[in-house]
Amino acid sequence: MLWYLVPSVIMFAAGVYGFCTRKNMIALLISLELMLNSADLNFVVFNRFLFPGSMEGMVFTLFAIAIAAAETAIAIAIIINIYRAVGNTDINSVKQMKF
Amino acid sequence: MFSNFLIWFVIVPVIMMAGLACCGNSNMKAIRTVMVVCSTVLLGMAIWLVCEFLDMRAAGDTSEMLFTGSWMWYEPLNIHLAVGVDGISVLMLLLSAIIVFAGTFASWKIDPLPKNFFLWFALLSTGVFGFFISIDMFTMFMFYEVALIPMYLLIGVWGTGRKEYSAMKLTLMLMGGSAFLMLGLLGIYWHSVPAGGVPTWNILEIAHNSAIAPSWQNLLFCFTFVGFGVLGAMFPFHTWSPDGHACAPTAVSMLHAGVLMKLGGYGCFRIAIYLLPSAAQELAWIFIILTGISIVYGAFSACVQTDLKYINAYSSVSHCGMVLFAILMLNRTAMTGGILQMLSHGLMTALFFALIGMIYGRTHTRDIRQMGGLMKIMPYLGVCYMIAGFASLGLPGMSGFVAEMTIFFGAFENGDMFHRVFVIAATCAIVITAVYILRVVGKLILGPVQDDHHLTLTDATWWERFSTATLIVCLAGIGFFPNWINETIQHSFTPIINALNMAI
Amino acid sequence: MGTTLPILILAIPFAMFLILGIGGVKMSRKLAGILGICANGTLAVLAYIVAFTYFFSGDAAFILDGVRQQVQIFDVTWLAFTERMVVNIGFLLDPICAMMLVVITTISFMVHLYSWGYMEHEPGFQRYYAFLSLFTFSMLGLVVATNIFQMYIFWELVGVSSYLLIGFFYKLPSAVAASKKAFIVTRFADLFMLIGILVLSYYVSHTPADGPLGGASAFNFLMLNSNPGNVLASTVGATFMGGSVLTWAMIFIFVGGMGKSAMMPLHIWLPDAMEGPTPVSALIHAATMVVAGVYLVARFFPVFCIVPDSLTFITVVGAITAFYAAVVACAQIDIKRILAFSTISQIAFMMVALGCAYNEPVEGVHYSGLGYMAGMFHLFTHAMFKALLFLGAGCLIHAVHSNNYTEMGGLRKYMPICHITFLIGCLAIAGIWPFSGFFSKDEMLAAMFSRHWFWGAWMTMVAGLTAFYMFRMYYMVFWWEENPKYRESGHKPHDAPWQMSLPLIILALVSCVAGFIPFGEFVTFNGEPYHIHIEPSVAATSLTVAVAAIALATVMYAKKNPLPSKIKNLWPGLWTAANRRFYWDEIYQFITHRFIFNIICRGIAWFDRHIIDGTMDAMATVTQWCSVRIKGMQSGSIQTYVIWYFIGAVLLAAVTWICIL
């Protein structure tokens, strides 16, 4: 099981690192997908090794993939809109929502 | 429910608000009609209630509260809408009705947004009337809050000077007091019955049960007394009062100083002392020191103020300190004096603020250094101001004298040195009051005219005359024939005195 | 006697106050004047009827076995503090009350009449009459009081009417300041009176209800005066600063009287009160209100007697004041001020007389209550001749338009009526036979000598000073040197119109004959008649002293000569100090303004704004500061949030980890 979980952790850490350091929103989105996929991987792995008799983990992963697709579509739409409004996709240029 | 007469004291202001809501935004005629009709109805109801109450008492009805009624409101917490009045609440209702009536006339030409002003004004009076008729602590507290909140808008929108600051300060300080109060009330609620019973909010039942352990009483007494004391402008929680009064519009100052501050004193004896008598016996000394300081401190502070409203605000601190001081003396005579002082101070301060508003409306200044000789320019207002001043410094024939003397003679009944010293200190306030009142009268009303522009100003209009004359007649009425009020109040203190005696 | 007349006596002036006060604005001057005068004339007649019925009807209610009784005509409850402390409003008729009714209504009527001429051209004429009525009402209420609290009520009311009348010329800052001063000083004294009443009534009301003090309200004069021993017994054991509580209470009550009667050191308001219209000074600050303190002592005499320390206190205060005021009067220039100080001195005379009286027979003293009778007698005669002098001074001021005698001189040719009546007044106050002052002063001095020779000698000296300064003023005004202005300007001073002269003549006649009234037959401390007889030695001494003083004044002031300025230059410091009234006003000014106003009041106001309010504001400021500090965490940058979130998640995980393991 460990051999499956270690890549998952590495993926998740890479996702977090990427999310925290990159400026481009598309890169952020990719990092987000990495984290999501690592979570999906965990679902599958735990289902397979701990509860071999049931299928909930698998179903949930499929469900999450579908949702992630929709989410990505929305995120891309937002990014395009921001690009139109601001002229770039730098995350630091949209800081108005504060205080 | 609607057959209970008292409930109408809340319904009429609500009808008043509905009527105002139907008026056009700047249709002054309609707005005034609604206000005058409803406030007259309220005044009539209050007078009728007093007569009826006295009749029922004369006919031998000795139950503690009359016109009682109780309707379940929220079962899980046993909250009722419970109403009932004794002699004190009846007089407080009358006072509120008089001041709402006079306040309506005093804000005849309010500007801007007259409709909204009167809407909030009506909401404020709903809260005030509701507070005085309630005998359920929760509804009482609710009406208390209803009365406080409109204050923020009334000062913040229609005020003068640093109005946002003052409105915020007033609201925050009073809300802080409410927080204490809520803690105290919840504590009383949870301990209101012996173990195993269903807790109740009803004041009469709690007093009847007298199940609160003395150790709890001490804690809860501090909470409730401080909570109400903030509204009663007790030292050192009084600083909302000068700023708040100075910035409030005329009618709001009248209602606030005249009635709202009385909510504090009323709550102090109705809840803090009545329900927690053993704590009152034990801890009164702390608050006697605080209120004793209030009396002298307010009076001294008023001596050097230059803004008319600040002078009266500090004078209110002194006089309201006298109210709480009297109530803390825990004997019938002094407490009666405290209630008389509430009535007297309510009428007198309302008159003062009305007059200051009228003078300010003409001269556009409240600085006494810039005015003078108003007697020559506006004799009616000048004479009224002097009468109000004499009432304030306790001239016989005015209500202030009756109240102060009752307080002093009652307070002196406590024979120990501690009480004596504070009573003597409090009596000194009558001299200091004379100093600051005469200082203002001498500078503002008498003397040579300071500003030649003022020579063209006009005297009071009919509605101003009407508003002030109403208050003066009431002041002199109490001053000349105090005994019926005195007896009514004394009688109403019997349950509280019994509770205090049993707690020793 | 029914209750109708007494009620009318109180109701008429009060009704006039309301009518003239509310309706006066719409009335013509003439109507207001006639209304006021007629009402007061009626009032005087009613008061005479009451007094004559009391003294002469022989009704058993009023005189029983030759002893005059104290009768409560009516006494209704006004306010009940407790069962034992009930404030009544009533009408107590006894010798001193009947005497005061006569004095007040007579002088009030004279002043009403006089003012018709004097105040004719002043704006606010109607208001003036309204205030006069208010004062008359309050003063009558004061003298008929059945209990100490009623007296206190009307005590305050006379204070306020005095305030209103002193400040009648409200556009003058000096009048406003004087009225304020008068009110505050007397209020300060009243504070002591209130404390005295508080203490007295507390102890009296805590005696057994069925005991001798249980019959009536604890404030009632009759009850207190008829059982002074029990009053003393009620406070037994209670002491305060080494004295019995009753002594303190009586001294405090007397301090109230000191304020109203302008005794040292509370005298400072009376000279300033002369800013008011002169007829007001005659009515309030010479004849009636200022003797309220004397009346109070007389009214409470049996209780004062039971605590001898309080009587000693009264005597000492009176003696010091009498001398002080007489010395100051010698160095004043303003004729109204001279009269004011002379009033202070004469009232102090009455105080000393009361302080020297006993209420029970004493060995070696032929009549123990002589001081009481004499004090009341002097109150009566003094009211008449001092009102006369003030009204005369009013005529002079009316004619010359100045208060200072330096603007006068040689007026005897121009104002004969004023001159003669003024002279009669001066002779009366100096104590020259056969004018009224001689008789009352003689009795007072006899009483003082019977107490102790020192008081007699001291007060004889004051009597001499009185004669001196009165004749100094008389000569400076009517003789000395004619003021050249009279000839230069076309405006010659002349006698006043009849409304003003008539009261002068009436009062002068009264001052001539009042001494022959057998006063002792009517007013004594215990109601038993006393036959006045002149004590030759005392009379001879006081007459000699008075004549010598007048002679000295004649030498110095009858004609213009350099003698006065020479004497003045002998001790210039003394003269200035006396002229500045020995700096009492400056001392008060320093205490009130520098200390109380500037340090205490300003200090407290500063404390309130900066410490108390500052604390409240500081709480708000600290809250705001905190929120400003932490608001940076909400930066708007998603990446920062993620980092915080991540750190939080890791920390939580760590905590969970540690807890589970």
If we measure between CA atoms, which residue out of C476, C466, C480 comes closest to residue C549? C466
The CA distance from C336 to C333, in Å, is 9
What domains appear along chain A, each with residue ranges and CATH number?
A: 2-86 (1.10.287.3510)
* Tokens standing for residue B418: 């501690």
Q: Do the Cβ atoms of C255 and C149 come closer than 8 Å? A: no
Q: Is B430 on the interface with C (CB under 8 A)?
A: yes
AA letter at C584: W
Q: Return mean pLDDT, chain B.
A: 88
Which of B332, B412, B487 comes nearest C198 by C-beta? B412
Percent of chain C with pLDDT over 90: 26
Question: CA of C427: how far to CAs of C349, C469, C470, C511, C590, in Å?
Answer: 17, 12, 9, 10, 39
DSSP states of C195-264? HHHHHHHHHHHTS-TTSTT-SS-TTBHHHHHH-HHHHHHHTTT-EETTEEHHHHHHHHHHHHHHHHTT-T
Quick one: pLDDT at residue B114? Answer: 82
pLDDT-based confidence at residue C443 (cuts at 50, 70, 90): confident
Quick one: pLDDT at residue C44? Answer: 93
Q: Do the Cβ atoms of C252 and C192 come closer than 8 Å? A: yes
The CA distance from C645 to C653, in Å, is 12
- Residues of chain A neighbouring C636 (CB-CB closer than 8 A): 94-99
Under an 8 A CB cutoff, do A97 and C636 touch? yes
CB atoms within 10 A of CB C413: 12
Under an 8 A CB cutoff, do A16 and C646 touch? yes
pLDDT at B60 over 70: yes
Under an 8 A CB cutoff, do C639 and A91 touch? yes
Question: CA of A12: how far to CAs of A24, A34, C73, C365, C400, in Å?
Answer: 19, 6, 106, 120, 111
pLDDT at C364 over 70: no
The CA distance from C32 to C22, in Å, is 12
Q: Return mean pLDDT, chain C.
A: 86
AA letter at C20: L
* Tokens standing for residue B190: 């949870």
Q: Do the Cβ atoms of B127 and B146 come closer than 8 Å? A: yes
Per-residue pLDDT of B268-283, as tens digits, reads: 988 889 988 888 888 8
Q: Do the Cβ atoms of A16 and A35 come closer than 8 Å? A: yes
Q: Give the range among B420-434, B478-492, C112-126 with minimum mean pLDDT.
A: C112-126
Cα dihedral angle (C50, C52, C54, C55), rounded to 10 degrees? 160
Quick one: pLDDT at residue C519? Answer: 83
Per-residue pLDDT of C565-617, as tens digits, reads: 888 888 888 878 878 888 888 888 888 888 888 888 888 888 888 888 888 88
Mean pLDDT of B460-475: 87
Q: Is B182 on the interface with C (CB under 8 A)?
A: no
Phi first, then psi: give them for residue B89, nearest 5 degrees: -65, -35
pLDDT at C73 over 90: no
Q: Is A93 on the interface with C (CB under 8 A)?
A: no
Quick one: pLDDT at residue A9? Answer: 92
The CA distance from C565 to C562, in Å, is 6
pLDDT greater at residue B392 or residue C535: B392
Task: Return the number of CB contacts < 8 Å for B and C.
Answer: 121
At residue C188, the 3 state secondary structure works out as: helix
Q: Do the Cβ atoms of C341 and C479 come closer than 8 Å? A: no
Quick one: pLDDT at residue B186? Answer: 92
pLDDT at C193 over 90: yes
Per-residue pLDDT of B63-89, as tens digits, reads: 888 888 888 888 888 888 899 998 899
* Chain C residue with minimum CA distance to A96: C636
* Chain C residue with minimum CA distance to B446: C170
Per-residue pLDDT of C380-407, as tens digits, reads: 999 999 999 999 888 888 888 888 887 7
Which of C631, C639, C646 comes nearest A99 by C-beta? C631
Q: Specify the DSSP class assigned to residue C407.
A: G
List the alpha helices (DSSP H) in C79-170: 95-118, 125-143, 148-166
Under an 8 A CB cutoff, do B431 and C191 touch? yes
Per-residue pLDDT of A40-79, as tens digits, reads: 999 999 998 888 888 888 999 999 999 999 999 999 999 9
Question: CA of C27: how far to CAs of B7, B327, B381, C35, in Å?
Answer: 49, 48, 20, 10
Quick one: pLDDT at residue C490? Answer: 64
Q: Is B197 on the interface with C (CB under 8 A)?
A: no
Under an 8 A CB cutoff, do A20 and C635 touch? no
Minimum distance, in Å, between the CA of residue A59 and any CA atom of chain C: 27
* Tokens standing for residue B362: 């003409």
Quick one: pLDDT at residue C626? Answer: 93
pLDDT at C489 over 70: no
